[in-house]
Structure 1
Amino acid sequence: MILTPKKLSLFKDWNIDMILYTKELHSKYPMLPLEKIIKPRKEKTKAKDVPKDRQVVNKIRFIDGHIFFKDRIIKNDMNKSCINDLLVSNINFEKGAFAVNAWGDLYASTDYTSYIIDTTVTKPEYLFLSLRCRTFMEYVASVKPKGMKTRARYEFIKNFEIPVPPLAEQETILKTYHEMLDEAEKNIQSGDDFGANLLYDIQSKVSNIKHETYNIQKDNSIMRIISFTSTRRWEVDYILKEGCLENIYNSFMYDNYCIKDLQKESLFGLSVKASTEMKKGMIPILRMSNVVNGEIDFSELKYLPKQCVVTANDPDKWILKPGDFLVTRTNGSKDLVGKAAVFNSNEIYTYASYLIRYRFDTTRVLPEYVNIMFMTPLVRKQIAVMRRQGGGQYNLNSDEIGAIRIPVPSISIQKEIIKKYNNTKGGANVYYEKAQKYKEDAQINFESEIFV
């Protein structure tokens, strides 16, 4: 083995992986260690002192740094994070579990560290994107000490260097980056418009409702008489909007049924910690992020041991079967809660707790038809009335999903609608593929600009 000589004075921390690793990062811009850019925010808060109206971090998604929140009773000390801080998971920093705080005062467990960014040196977004560059993340992953209890604390990350152009140059780089993202958004909008027109066309086959009918009428009176016996949910926002559902129900051109009347069975998914690595005896688990645009996205999978999904009485209890209909019951976006897809793979998969699995009586309704209905305004408006918000998340329970009503024509008409949708939806995918290419190019161009 050939060792590269290194000066003893350069060793700030005795990390053997870092010492032996000879690769260095290069840039046409000055390289600065992170300790010159960020400092830990040392604001630990006792559980009793955490504000009641706080937002508590649940997790940070690896792929894009999106923060998910949870609503829970605080029992342990929490680290505070402020606006424009860099919030880092001490456990999964090298996998991308970090984000710039765009929400304000947040609280996270002590497995997270919040860093104050020196904005006289770098813009928070530039720092975030630099750290997400593949070149940098692969470097960090290669030198992080191995071990289950290893934490990427400040003592570890402070010595990593990133390219830091002058602020004016950072603005130029970010401007180019956002121009490409803007093009991506234009294509996404075009795809959405194409899909919406298709869905409105399909909807017109089963409903005679007009677009303007969806508007919820405002009542000028501050008083409303509500029948006690007819009130299904005692929540002001729900009561005020519930009336618009009658317009939807009355528009159906075929007999309509609640989801609970069409299902043979339903089951919540598993609440088991999954792994990003697939090992022997593990199977993939679908999560809410795998339900995209009415389809299952089989990328970005996690895995768990197969024995977690079986019971003595029902060994296939949580194993998905072709034709299973999956509905997202929780999401941070109000537009994504209630999104759904049909599972049509012959491979062995299970599903996570934020999804509910439905199996229908296919002599009455086809799961693909239900899935199309769940994308139409007919169902989306029902979800908008029923969804609730809590802990930064929008939620639907099984009773609310079960109460969703859809028109149910004959199986032959359902098949015609499914065929029309499948033959036409590709037009929207053309735009979505262009959008994805713009997003990928934006990241690639950003990285090639700052790293050599």
Structure 2
Amino acid sequence: MTFSIDKSDWRKVRFGDVVSNVNEVVRDPSALDIERSVGLEHLDPGELAVTRWAAIEEGTSFTRRVQSGQTLFGKRRSYQRKTAYATFNAICSGDILVFYPKDPQVLLPELLPFIASSDAFYNVALRTSAGSLSPRTRWSDLAAFEFLLPSLAEQQRIADLLWAFEQHRQSVRAVELRFSTAEMAWTERAVWDNPYPEQALSDLLDSCNYGLSDRCVTDQGDGCPAVLRIPNVVQGHCSFHDLRFLPEAADSSHPAAIREGDFLVVRTNGNPSYVGIGALVEQMQETTLFASYLLRLRTMTDRLLPSFLALCWGTKKFNQRLRPYVRSSAGNYNLSSSSILGLSIPCPPLTEQLRVVAEFDKFTGARREIAANERALKESATVVLEALLGGRS
């Protein structure tokens, strides 16, 4: 998709010249009939809609006022890309900046959230963030961001188009979430509501090994394999983006090499919710190794299909069994190989495992198609934003 915009009559402005950093303090929210408080944890990365909040009656220390029509921007850990558009009145965390046009006849409030969620704006936020554990950007740095501002009529045309993309994307996203809920419920029943006896993973796994602890590098040398780390599996599937590499040559005979059908598990992390996340290795093209913060599970394929193990691992019931074995030590949370081997799962005959996996794949295919539609809508909106803020005409 291409989107051409004539910018010959647009004027360059500083963000801080047309946008106010609204910092209105409210000591008694109930006096203003404010019933909701919004923390940074309630803003979902990449989502303009605010769909979660806490009730004021539950108690809060927040005092920053939010009014419907204002734009919210998470200044802490801005790499999470938390920008939202408020559709209700609330109070919010001090780690959320509240933006509103200084003059709505100069900059449309409806266009502002898209400007504040653009790559160009986030590049400024990332470049100016300071702090090691919780980096924060500052309003004074964001205010210096410059962009080209069209006429009000052109802004309206662009905002209408972007909101049409966004509302359609949110509708598709809602369908995807409902589909995922149905998929999870079906999987729970298919795996656990059956007459087959459970068996310990120690009787179903051929091995459960730790990865390599060698230092990795960002540039790949000749014959040097990629090394999968926690970021490559933490979403529940194997990602081959943002890779690191062994600084020396190695082939598939390396003890830490992975192959199709391996199941990788996060065994240690400072965030306990990451520990225990598993991902099935489905496709392999080149020799790839795995790092020491992961465990590699290999099934006895005449007893347990790797794909059936992945289904079991992703269920709520299995997660409830696993969580008690995630233990804290020296600031990290850990899951041992012995704990995994002691867990048990239903183990039907291979023919039944194949049937369940095949049925699940039908769900997965449909859900991926829905997700692809959502991504296409988001990419189309990004093209418009880049044309708006990227300096092209």
TM-score w.r.t. the length of structure 2 is 0.57
Instruction: Give 1:369 deviation, angstroms.
Output: 0.9
Partner SS state of residue 326, structure 1? strand
Which residue pairs with 1:303 in the alignment?
244
**1: distance between equivalents of 2:210 and 2:152?**
50
Instruction: Give 1:410 deviation, angstroms.
Output: 1.7
Question: Are 2:305 and 1:366 aligned?
Answer: yes
Preserved contact between residue 224 and residue 249 of structure 2 (Cα < 8 Å)? no
* Closer/same/farther in 2, CA of residues 98 and 295 from structure 1, 3 Å limit: closer
1:410-425 alignment to 2 at 5 Å? 410-425=349-364
What is the aligned residue count?
Answer: 311
Which residue pairs with 2:168 in the alignment?
183
* Closer/same/farther in 2, CA of residues 335 and 268 from structure 1, 3 Å limit: closer
* Closer/same/farther in 2, CA of residues 161 and 422 from structure 1, 3 Å limit: same
**1: distance between equivalents of 2:274 and 2:98?**
32
Query: Which amino acid letter does the alignment assign opposite residue 117 of structure 2?
Result: L
* Closer/same/farther in 2, CA of residues 416 and 172 from structure 1, 3 Å limit: same
Which residue pairs with 1:162 in the alignment?
147
Instruction: Give 1:433 deviation, angstroms.
Output: 0.9
Preserved contact between residue 86 and residue 101 of structure 1 (Cα < 8 Å)? no
Preserved contact between residue 338 and residue 396 of structure 1 (Cα < 8 Å)? no
Question: Are 2:244 and 1:263 aligned?
Answer: no
Preserved contact between residue 326 and residue 355 of structure 1 (Cα < 8 Å)? yes
Which residue pairs with 1:3 in the alignment?
none
Deviates more, 1:97-106 or 1:198-207: 97-106
Gaps of 5+ in 2: 1-6, 20-44, 47-71, 85-91, 128-140
Partner SS state of residue 265, structure 2? strand
* Closer/same/farther in 2, CA of residues 32 and 198 from structure 1, 3 Å limit: closer
* Closer/same/farther in 2, CA of residues 99 and 195 from structure 1, 3 Å limit: closer
* Closer/same/farther in 2, CA of residues 260 and 307 from structure 1, 3 Å limit: farther
User: Share of identical aligned residues, percent?
Assistant: 20
1:293-442 alignment to 2 at 5 Å? 295-298=237-240, 300-307=241-248, 316-329=254-267, 330=269, 334=273, 338-383=277-322, 397-398=335-336, 400-442=339-381
Preserved contact between residue 386 and residue 400 of structure 1 (Cα < 8 Å)? yes
* Closer/same/farther in 2, CA of residues 331 and 439 from structure 1, 3 Å limit: farther
Preserved contact between residue 328 and residue 354 of structure 1 (Cα < 8 Å)? yes
Which residue pairs with 1:129 in the alignment?
117
Partner SS state of residue 353, structure 2? helix
Preserved contact between residue 212 and residue 291 of structure 2 (Cα < 8 Å)? yes
* Closer/same/farther in 2, CA of residues 411 and 177 from structure 1, 3 Å limit: same
Preserved contact between residue 270 and residue 351 of structure 1 (Cα < 8 Å)? yes
Query: Which amino acid letter does the alignment assign opposite residue 187 of structure 1?
Result: V
Instruction: Give 1:349 deviation, angstroms.
Output: 1.2
**2: distance between equivalents of 1:276 and 1:119?**
41
TM-superposition CA deviations, 1:241-293 (whole Å, max 9, x none): xxxxxxxxxxx622213334432322344566655554444332334444487
Gaps of 5+ in 1: 1-25, 39-62, 65-82, 90-96, 107-115, 142-155, 209-251
**2: distance between equivalents of 1:188 and 1:337?**
27
Partner SS state of residue 440, structure 1? helix
Partner SS state of residue 248, structure 2? helix
**2: distance between equivalents of 1:105 and 1:271?**
40
**1: distance between equivalents of 2:309 and 2:83?**
38
* Closer/same/farther in 2, CA of residues 180 and 158 from structure 1, 3 Å limit: closer
**2: distance between equivalents of 1:388 and 1:128?**
40
* Closer/same/farther in 2, CA of residues 105 and 437 from structure 1, 3 Å limit: same
Preserved contact between residue 184 and residue 315 of structure 2 (Cα < 8 Å)? yes
Which residue pairs with 2:178 in the alignment?
193
Preserved contact between residue 33 and residue 162 of structure 1 (Cα < 8 Å)? yes
TM-superposition CA deviations, 1:302-336 (whole Å, max 9, x none): 131353979xxx96122112221112345969499
1:22-41 alignment to 2 at 5 Å? 29-32=10-13
Partner SS state of residue 296, structure 1? coil
Preserved contact between residue 326 and residue 358 of structure 1 (Cα < 8 Å)? yes
TM-superposition CA deviations, 1:104-157 (whole Å, max 9, x none): 678xxxxxxxxx999767999556433447xx97xx99xxxxxxxxxxxxxx99
Query: Which amino acid letter does the alignment assign opposite residue 129 of structure 1?
Result: S
* Closer/same/farther in 2, CA of residues 267 and 163 from structure 1, 3 Å limit: farther
* Closer/same/farther in 2, CA of residues 193 and 100 from structure 1, 3 Å limit: closer
**2: distance between equivalents of 1:425 and 1:438?**
20
Query: Which amino acid letter does the alignment assign opposite residue 376 of structure 2?
Result: K
**2: distance between equivalents of 1:273 and 1:181?**
43
Instruction: Give 1:205 deviation, angstroms.
Output: 4.1
TM-score w.r.t. the length of structure 1 is 0.51
TM-superposition CA deviations, 1:213-263 (whole Å, max 9, x none): xxxxxxxxxxxxxxxxxxxxxxxxxxxxxxxxxxxxxxx622213334432
Preserved contact between residue 338 and residue 383 of structure 1 (Cα < 8 Å)? no
Query: Which amino acid letter does the alignment assign opposite residue 367 of structure 2?
Result: A
**2: distance between equivalents of 1:176 and 1:335?**
38
**2: distance between equivalents of 1:380 and 1:27?**
58
* Closer/same/farther in 2, CA of residues 87 and 424 from structure 1, 3 Å limit: closer
Question: Are 2:192 and 1:207 aligned?
Answer: yes
TM-superposition CA deviations, 1:72-98 (whole Å, max 9, x none): xxxxxxxxxxx9575689xxxxxxx68
* Closer/same/farther in 2, CA of residues 322 and 161 from structure 1, 3 Å limit: same
Instruction: Give 1:434 deviation, angstroms.
Output: 0.8
* Closer/same/farther in 2, CA of residues 424 and 125 from structure 1, 3 Å limit: closer
